[in-house]
Amino acid sequence: MDINKQAQAAKQASYILANTSIDTRNTALSLMADSLEASATAIIKANAIDMENAKNKGISRAMQDRLMLDEDRINSIAAGVRQIIALPDVLGEVDSMWERPNGLVIGKKRVPLGLIGIIYEARPNVTVDAAVLCLKAGNAVMLRGGSEAFHSNMELVRVMKDALKEAGLPEAAIEIVEDTSRETATAMMKLHSYIDVLIPRGGAGLIKSVLENATIPVIETGTGVCHIYIDEFADLQMGLDILINAKCQRPSVCNACETLLVHEKVAAKFLPLAENALTAQGVEIRYGDYDVEFLDLILSVKTVKNMDEAIAHINEYGTQHSECIITNDYAASQKFLKMVDAAAVYVNASTRFTDGFEFGFGAEIGISTQKLHARGPMGLRELTTVKYIIMGSGQIR
């Protein structure tokens, strides 16, 4: 189908969605969750084609992990949909209201963004996460996934479109671009007549391409050169446990730790412990490459003289995603929280918590690393904007 016609149809669907009741939208989401579970066999069959193609192309283990779907992951995706159903509706909320001296009553009402475009890579779970979050917030969505997940994405969208139809909502509320070429992606980035905001989810190359080519407002997400700083007052065992979790639990995601900074006063004691534990987990340690998002079992390490050097390093090489200090010193923790420029700053906790589920938002649309409109995990509220509503009694200016 022509991408312009898809966008036009999705835009029209967005007007319908913006005026639906929360019960209607939740019914559609409930049908989607049930259908995902019931269609697990067909989804896994489609995913197997993508997995076989990925192996034949020599795609990395980390990327294959992102791509793979099994029954447990499909059930987890469906559970995420139900978690979103349970969230309160944000549409129609009046954030504030005031009266002017001339009698005008002015309010700020929360409304959908409209048609949201999502460009992403080999993560089929994003297909569902993005669609259901957009729908819950009253938005239509236009998806453009990577070629690696083509068969998985097409099957997931088929299941969700069927659920929309059953719920009495326009199937065009979820559109997916079937042509995964760069040319089509670039064309989508310029559909400013239809798409209200564009959200890229993927590696640095994808995000850079969207930022450079889009004529639509972009919310920058994803790239995570995340740090853990072991302070001189750290509980070293706590630091080790958090480091192993942040690096090894799932190294292919944007909130995994990529750089370890260690205060020189504890380096002689902590680094051997860390190297032994990391090596046992298959992690390659590098003393350099500080600006790289590895998305793999690779960790850069640096010893610093003090916290000021650690903070300066983070603010230079970080991507304003998630940063962590391990310390038992309150003053140090507060200085780190104040001085580090990132969407999420942690004291004595793993960076892996930067996630919509963990923050209580449901499955986020992405982790925004910019500062305008939305920052950090983007849940329902971040997928809305405001409209001023003004009530008068005949006032003229």
CATH code, domain with 108: 3.40.605.10
Q: Per the structure, how many domains does the chain have?
A: 2
- 260 Cβ partners below 8 Å, 6+ apart? 227, 228, 230, 243, 274, 299, 300, 301, 302
Domain match, 194 and 281 both: no
Regarding whether 258 and 205 lie in a shared domain, the answer is no
Per the DSSP assignment, residues forming a β-bridge with 141 are 116, 174
User: 396 in a domain, yes or no?
Assistant: no
298 in any annotated domain? yes
pLDDT digits (tens, 9 = 90+) for 193-247: 999 999 998 777 888 899 999 999 999 887 899 999 999 999 999 999 999 999 9
Based on the fold, state whether residues 201 and 82 are members of the same structural domain: yes
Closest CA to 120 of 218, 219, 200: 200
Task: Give domain status of residue 15, yes or no.
Answer: yes
Predicted pLDDT at 263: 98
Average pLDDT, the chain: 94
How confident is the model at residue 352, as a pLDDT?
Answer: 97
pLDDT, position 195:
98
Do 196 and 315 lie in one domain? The reply is no
Q: Is the pLDDT of residue 48 over 70?
A: yes
pLDDT, tens digit, for every residue of 239-283? 999 999 999 999 988 999 999 999 999 999 999 999 999 999 999
pLDDT for the residue 363:
67
Pairing of strands 105-112, 322-326: unpaired
Share of the chain above pLDDT 90, in %: 85
Closest CA to 226 of 248, 247, 201, 244: 247
Report the b/e string of 38-74 with b at 16+ CB within 10 A.
Answer: ebbeebbebbeebbebbeeeebeebbbebbbbeeebb
Q: Which pTM was predicted?
A: 0.86
In the chain the first and final C-alpha atoms are separated, in Å, by 49
Instruction: Please give the Cα distance from 54 to 149 (Å, whole number).
Output: 9
Q: How many helices (DSSP H) and strands (DSSP E) are in the chain?
A: 14, 15
Q: Are 97 and 109 in contact (CB under 8 A)?
A: no
Q: Is residue 397 part of a domain?
A: no
* pLDDT band with cut points at 50, 70 and 90 for residue 138: very high
| Residue-number span of the structural domain to which 261 is assigned | 226-358
The pLDDT tens digits for 338-361 are: 999 999 999 999 999 998 879 988
Domain identity same for 172 and 105? yes
Among residues 65, 181, 66, which one has the least CA distance to residue 124? Answer: 66
- Spatial distance between the Cα atoms of 55 and 65, rounded to a whole number of angstroms: 11
